[in-house]
Every structure is written in C-alpha cells, then in structure tokens.
Chains A and B, each alone.
Chain A
C-alpha cells in the first residue's frame, strides 16, 4: 500500500512554485503543471507520454493503465536573463489515477494553475536630495510569490475499443502575494497585497483510434476546457509601512505601528479571469512501438483583469503552441523496459498592451520502469528560449531537469484471506 507519509510529502512539495520572467505577467505563468514524462516530449497535453497510449493529463486514456498510479514530478531549473543566472526549484502536479477493469477510471490531481514566484530587483541606486545635508539613495525590488492552484477530479470512460471520453472538474484555490519594496538607504518600505483565487474549470476529453476508418494507426485526441465559473479574485491591499525591524512583516516595531495602520481594503472581481483551452493531437504508432506525435494547443483568457496587481502592466491574452514529438516505449518486465522520448515545440504568447513573446523549446527524456506494479521514473531535460521579452528588454533561456516518480498499486482486487 502507499505510505500516507509519502503522500503528505508529495502534497506539501507540490505547493511550491518556481520562477521565470513570465511569472511577472498578470496572475502568473500557467505552464508549470506538466509532469516529467510530458515535458520530455515538449509539454504535450494529450498524446502518449507516460506509457504507451497513456497521458497522465488525459483522463480519456487512463483506462489503459493496468495499475493505480500515484505520480509527481520535480524540476531543477536554471534561468538565464541577460548576464544573470537564476536557479529555482519547481514542482508540478501530483496525480492519483485509479483504473477499474480497464473500462472506467477516476483520478485526483493537485497542480499549480498560475505561478507568481518571482523577484525582480533593480540594483541601481537613484538619489534624492531632501535637505542640504540629507541625500537619500533608493532603489526598488518587487517580489511576488504563490499563485492559484487547481484541485481536480477526473473521470475517464472507454466507450468501445476505438473511442473513449474523459471529464474533469477543477476547483481553483490558493492565494498569491505581491510586495513592492522601495529601499531607501537600505531600509525597506513595503507595500503588500494578497490575491485570493476562486472558481471552477471544467474539461472534456475525447480519444478515437482512426485505424479502422482511415487504415493508418493514428490516435486522435482532443480536449476543450473552460472556466465553468469564471475565476474570481479577492484582492486584499494592505497599508504600506517602513519595515524598521527588517522582517518583512508589518508589526508593532514598524512605522506606522500595526495598531495605527489602516485596515486592509478588500475588493472582489468575479470575472477576473475567464480561461478557455483547446488542444488536439495526432499520435501515429508504427510497428516498432515508435510514436510520432503532432499536437496543437491554444489557451486564452478573456477575463476583466481589473486589478493592477501584475508586476508588469500586462497579462497573457492567449497562447498557442505547436508540438512535434517522438516516443519509443519499452516493454514492462523485459530488458527493453526503457522509454525514450524527444520533442520540439514552438509557442507564441499574445500579451496585452505589449509585443508577443515567441518561444522555442526542445525536450529529451527517458523513462525507466521497475517493479511488479509498473513503477516508473521519468527523467527529462528541457531547453527553452523565449525571445522578445519587451517587458524586461531581453531574452530568457531556461534549462531544466525534471524527475517524475510514479508508484503503481493494484486496487479493486479481491484478495484471498490467508
């Protein structure tokens, strides 16, 4: 049986987000949800990435799982912006999938929806002369952290040998924090706010084997996702303060004293984000278990975005991606139990008020199966270049290593009493 302590550790670490420059836009970056096996093919959503004909992001494929699976992934990334290297740790989704008689499956997933983890710091001091003898040196540092998360319940159902469908409902929860720090003569002057997220997202999945109709072993996958209840944000704006004791919290040692500060202002926007996602993929499989994948993905947000809590005065209105992938899956319990995966992708972020950002990435990965219950370790490498980041006037390169761990177990089996 799965150790409850391990489950707790996974849930804990999956709450942590990593940072990239895209986290500075709107309510944060939305692309941290992919687990290691998917990243190795270029962050594919629908196609065979985890095991043959199975994607952990696609409930319509879960009935193919022989065992229940608990999966989570971690990434160690290094971002390069101008001359600065930035290392960060990122945890993606944690998923529990339980198949039933290779017909029905259900799953629980906890994943980041948006990540706002970023620190932007300006090391250049400006000067302000207050009186003849008082020259102040000041600079800025902007920090945001946290972000919305998604708790999802999923169902997959195999209609017949060539068709299957999936349904998923996710509840948006969590909060993020933002802190503007005006550093005057090394004393922090902080303006902090917090956003609380709520809402619901529903997704429908469909998978069909096309071999019978067109004579070519291709699997067609598609999904559509929409905010069932638009994502609302409650913004809690605190009064600025001089952090005299340097602990980043407003307390009785600061100015103004916490007891003399204004109460936070709470504002709610019910339609702050309205997200739609669509993807479709074709997965061609040859006689040597090689899969050739092409996938199109689109994400867009038509919410109001009335709060100005974005670090950069912009947000992602839409994102489109073309993904080309290759996977060769091993055979369990044999010497050929290794999976080899690779992919490239091209992405385009359409940003509000500012120029689009283009991205190009490659992914490489290997999966190793072990144990009687098809446990699996996925190791992937991802190289990503984002060009034309006008808002920070430069390009960004991110390299990341991801490790995914999947532990299998047999559920719904009657065991003979000893």
Chain B
C-alpha cells in the first residue's frame, strides 16, 4: 500500500510542469531601453617606440613610402642538440666543417628578380640590437651597413607555398670559399660574439615576409661536419642553431601634420592614438543599467594601402593623460608622457568598408561599475598588420544603448 501511494505521488510530481501565465500587459516603461550620446573630450596621436622585435615576421620590400633597411637575426650560442655545441667549437682542429645552410621559411608567394642578400656583422659587441634599434636611433648603435661582410644572396623567383598553411623555404648554402667567410665572421664568437646576420632586399618593390623568431618557424643554421674522435673514429653529423632574437628595421612613412590631428596608426613608426570620452553622464546611470551597445566608430580619412587587412586594437590605459598634443618618443619634450596600455579592457576589429566599429560596452560598463577610471583608450594597429600600412581615422561621438531590466 505504501509503495502504491508513494509511486502515485511521484507520478503526479513528475507529470506536472510549471508553465508561464501568458500575460500581455506587463508594463514596459518607456525608459526600458535608452540611448545617450557621449561626446569626445580629447584625442591625440603619438609616436611610441615601434615594437617590431616582437613581430612574428621579418619584413622586406619598399612600398607605401616606407623602405625596409634590413633585418637582423641573432642565433643561439649553442646548437639545439646534446651535447651542446657552440659556434666556436666548430672551429676546433678536430672538427672539419663540410658545409652549412642558413634557411628561412615564408608563407608569402613572390616571383621577382629581386635579391635577398645575407651579411655577417663581425663586431665586438655581444648584443648589437634591441627593440630600440630602429631608424631613429641608429646613431646610438653601430653602423650596420658599413660593418657588414657579404656572405651570400638569392633571387626571390618562384617562391610559392603549396597552400595557405604550408611554408616555402629560402636557403643560403655555404661550401668552399664562402663557408670559410661564414666561419670567420659568424662562427668565431671569440672575436665576434654577436652571432648576428643582416638580411636585406634589393630592388624589391612589394611586401615580402619571412617567419621570425616569434613564429614557430624561425630562421635556422644547419652545419654538417666531421668530428675526429681519435685516429680511427670519425663522426660525420650535423647540428642546428636557431634564431634567438630578430628585428626588422624600416624607414617608416612620413608622419604628416594631418596624421597628427587625426586618429593615426602605423606599425613601423610606432604611431598610435588616444581618445577620451566624457563619461560624466554614465556616472549617473542607475545601478542596474546595462550597457547593451556602444561601438567606437572610426571612419577612414586616408590610408596608404588598398586591400590589405588592417586590424585596429583598443585598450584601456594605466594613467590619466595630461598632454593632449602630439608627442613622439623620438623627439621627447619636457611634457612627454609614456602611455602604458592595460588588458583590463582589450578588443580589436578590422577595417571594413573604410570603417572600423569596435564594441566598447565593456569599457563603459566597467567605468559605470566603478571598476576602472576613465583614463581614456589607446588605439593601435594590430601586430598582424604590415608595418608599412598607415591609416588615419576621424572619430564619431559614441552612441550608447543601455537597458534597465
């Protein structure tokens, strides 16, 4: 009897579902969905140190008013194999280097008679470049062009990866006389500890890229040699050295006065921008206001490229801005400020139909919730952009849609 009763109760329980009471007159107050226009307080362009050392590409070619000067690649001191073998070890009497190959990989397709030239930089400094090594501060560094020793060259004809995800290889082979030049000027780290090569293009009027150290397909050197262990034993083998760090050094497009008045971006010159909206009205929003839609609209005013993909990033900045005039790291003045972006809010979008629309409702909501100060937003080009590409935008007031459930 008890089982029957309990089973009945259970069946009733699971057979019942709770439906909505359909009710067509729940009050929708007129102010359920609201809009507000937030004006721009200030905006500026500024020039920061170009961070091409962190780019996953090495850039070559001259276009859009930019010139590739050269790229520098420093290799590891030891090979990637056990036991560790250094460049200097290869110069020992018991070692006979047979040949060497310096090779790079690329995703680009090119068929050109332009040349890619390879040089060694036999200088006595151990570290000869960093992110601050760029067109503007060459005077603070060694004269790369006049310090270089020509090693080898190749013509960029018929370079074509099989598909969009495979890589083609560009090799510089060393044997005989040029192998000796390589050993003298690159392997001899006792005299020239920099282990750095210079790569430059000649007569290349289009953009061409090689994978850099930041890519998983970084430049490498393979060395084939014989090691004479004793009178009867010889080991015939090869070892591989990997790129340790690298950088492209580019003469960027000129920054015009118009660029300085607009929201302007360029990777090679380190051109970025800042914008500050007046969010006073947001401070007065109700506690339960939700920012539903707020897109920063940037309209392209001018650009030096046609159809390439250009990504625009936006982020919060760490400190408030006091100087809203154009500033440059290259010609710092007394009121020069260094702007640090933070990843509290970060977003990006590509240019589509000469316009970029970047959602920033999270930024407004964070400010409304008191989680961040309204220090402004930094606008910058994405790392995947060509450093030659420069674009200037005008900016619209911010239309914000907010709701109160």
A403 lies within 8 A of B8 (CB): yes
Partner among B35, B401, B404 whose Cβ is within 8 Å of the Cβ of A240: B404
Does B155 have its Cβ within 8 Å of any Cβ on chain A? Answer: no
A256 lies within 8 A of B362 (CB): yes
Q: Which residue in chain A gives the minimum CB-CB distance to B12?
A: A76
Partner among A3, A81, A120, A256 whose Cβ is within 8 Å of the Cβ of B369: A256
**13 A–B contact pairs at CB < 8 A?**
A6-B2, A76-B15, A117-B18, A119-B18, A121-B21, A180-B405, A182-B405, A189-B292, A189-B405, A191-B288, A260-B366, A260-B371, A262-B287
B23 lies within 8 A of A392 (CB): yes
Does B229 have its Cβ within 8 Å of any Cβ on chain A? Answer: no
Q: Which residue in chain B gives the minimum CB-CB distance to A179?
A: B405
Partner among A21, A181, A262, A377 whose Cβ is within 8 Å of the Cβ of B21: A21
Does A333 have its Cβ within 8 Å of any Cβ on chain B? Answer: no
Q: Assess A130 versus B21: contact at CB under 8 Å? Given A189-B403, A370-B1.
A: no
Q: Assess A9 versus B292: contact at CB under 8 Å? Given A88-B16, A117-B18, A140-B28.
A: no
Does B26 have its Cβ within 8 Å of any Cβ on chain A? Answer: yes
Does A123 have its Cβ within 8 Å of any Cβ on chain B? Answer: yes
A76 CB contacts on chain B under 8 angstroms: 12, 15-16
B5 CB contacts on chain A under 8 angstroms: 377, 405
B288 lies within 8 A of A239 (CB): yes
Q: Assess A240 versus B290: contact at CB under 8 Å? Given A21-B21, A123-B22, A255-B365.
A: yes
Closest Cβ of chain B: how far from A190's Cβ, in Å? Answer: 6
B401 CB contacts on chain A under 8 angstroms: 130, 136
Closest Cβ of chain B: how far from A173's Cβ, in Å? Answer: 23
State in angstroms the CA–CA spacing of A253 and B302 once bound together. Answer: 38
| 6 other A-B residue contacts (CB within 8 Å) besides A84-B19, A86-B19, A255-B290 | A89-B18, A122-B23, A138-B28, A181-B405, A184-B292, A190-B405
Does B33 have its Cβ within 8 Å of any Cβ on chain A? Answer: yes
A128 CB contacts on chain B under 8 angstroms: 33
B12 lies within 8 A of A393 (CB): no
B24 CB contacts on chain A under 8 angstroms: 122-124
B21 lies within 8 A of A134 (CB): no
Does A87 have its Cβ within 8 Å of any Cβ on chain B? Answer: yes
Does A241 have its Cβ within 8 Å of any Cβ on chain B? Answer: yes
Does B140 have its Cβ within 8 Å of any Cβ on chain A? Answer: no
Q: Which residue in chain A gives the minimum CB-CB distance to B290?
A: A240
Does A131 have its Cβ within 8 Å of any Cβ on chain B? Answer: yes
Closest Cβ of chain A: how far from B9's Cβ, in Å? Answer: 6
State in angstroms the CA–CA spacing of A89 and B18 once bound together. Answer: 8
For window 1-58 of chain B, which residues contact chain A by CB distance below 8 Å?
A: 1-2, 5-6, 8-9, 12-13, 15-26, 28, 32-33, 35
A262 CB contacts on chain B under 8 angstroms: 287, 369-370
Q: B residues within 8 Å of A by Cβ? A: 1-2, 5-6, 8-9, 12-13, 15-26, 28, 32-33, 35, 287-290, 292-293, 361-362, 365-366, 369-371, 399, 401, 403-405
State in angstroms the CA–CA spacing of A84 and B370 once bound together. Answer: 45
A121 CB contacts on chain B under 8 angstroms: 20-23, 26
Q: Assess A130 versus B35: contact at CB under 8 Å? Given A84-B22, A88-B18, A240-B290.
A: yes
State in angstroms the CA–CA spacing of A121 and B24 once bound together. Answer: 7
Q: Assess A242 versus B13: contact at CB under 8 Å? Given A119-B19, A119-B20, A122-B23.
A: no
B13 lies within 8 A of A13 (CB): yes
Closest Cβ of chain B: how far from A5's Cβ, in Å? Answer: 9
State in angstroms the CA–CA spacing of A9 and B404 once bound together. Answer: 41
Closest Cβ of chain A: how far from B11's Cβ, in Å? Answer: 10
B405 lies within 8 A of A131 (CB): no
For window 222-261 of chain A, which residues contact chain B by CB distance below 8 Å?
A: 239-242, 255-256, 260-261
Nearest 7 CB-CB pairs, A to B? Answer: A89-B16, A121-B20, A191-B405, A182-B405, A122-B26, A240-B288, A119-B20
B403 CB contacts on chain A under 8 angstroms: 182, 184, 189
Q: Assess A260 versus B365: contact at CB under 8 Å? Given A21-B21, A87-B16, A405-B5.
A: yes
B17 lies within 8 A of A87 (CB): yes
State in angstroms the CA–CA spacing of A138 and B370 once bound together. Answer: 28
B23 CB contacts on chain A under 8 angstroms: 81, 120-122, 392
A6 lies within 8 A of B288 (CB): no
Q: Which residue in chain B gives the minimum CB-CB distance to A407?
A: B2
B362 CB contacts on chain A under 8 angstroms: 255-256
Does A287 have its Cβ within 8 Å of any Cβ on chain B? Answer: no
Closest Cβ of chain B: how far from A388's Cβ, in Å? Answer: 16
B9 lies within 8 A of A131 (CB): no
Taking each of B19, B361, B403, B405, which has the highest tally of chain A beta carbons within 10 Å of its own beta carbon? B405
Q: Which residue in chain B gives the minimum CB-CB distance to A83?
A: B22
Does A161 have its Cβ within 8 Å of any Cβ on chain B? Answer: no
A181 CB contacts on chain B under 8 angstroms: 405
Q: Assess A74 versus B293: contact at CB under 8 Å? Given A120-B21, A121-B20.
A: no
Closest Cβ of chain B: how far from A181's Cβ, in Å? Answer: 7
Partner among B13, B20, B287 whose Cβ is within 8 Å of the Cβ of A141: B20
B371 CB contacts on chain A under 8 angstroms: 260
State in angstroms the CA–CA spacing of A16 and B290 once bound together. Answer: 33
Q: Which residue in chain B gives the minimum CB-CB distance to A393?
A: B25
State in angstroms the CA–CA spacing of A95 and B371 once bound together. Answer: 51
B20 CB contacts on chain A under 8 angstroms: 86, 119-121, 141
B28 lies within 8 A of A242 (CB): no
B35 CB contacts on chain A under 8 angstroms: 130
Q: Which residue in chain A gives the minimum CB-CB distance to B16?
A: A89
For window 168-196 of chain A, which residues contact chain B by CB distance below 8 Å?
A: 180-182, 184, 189-191
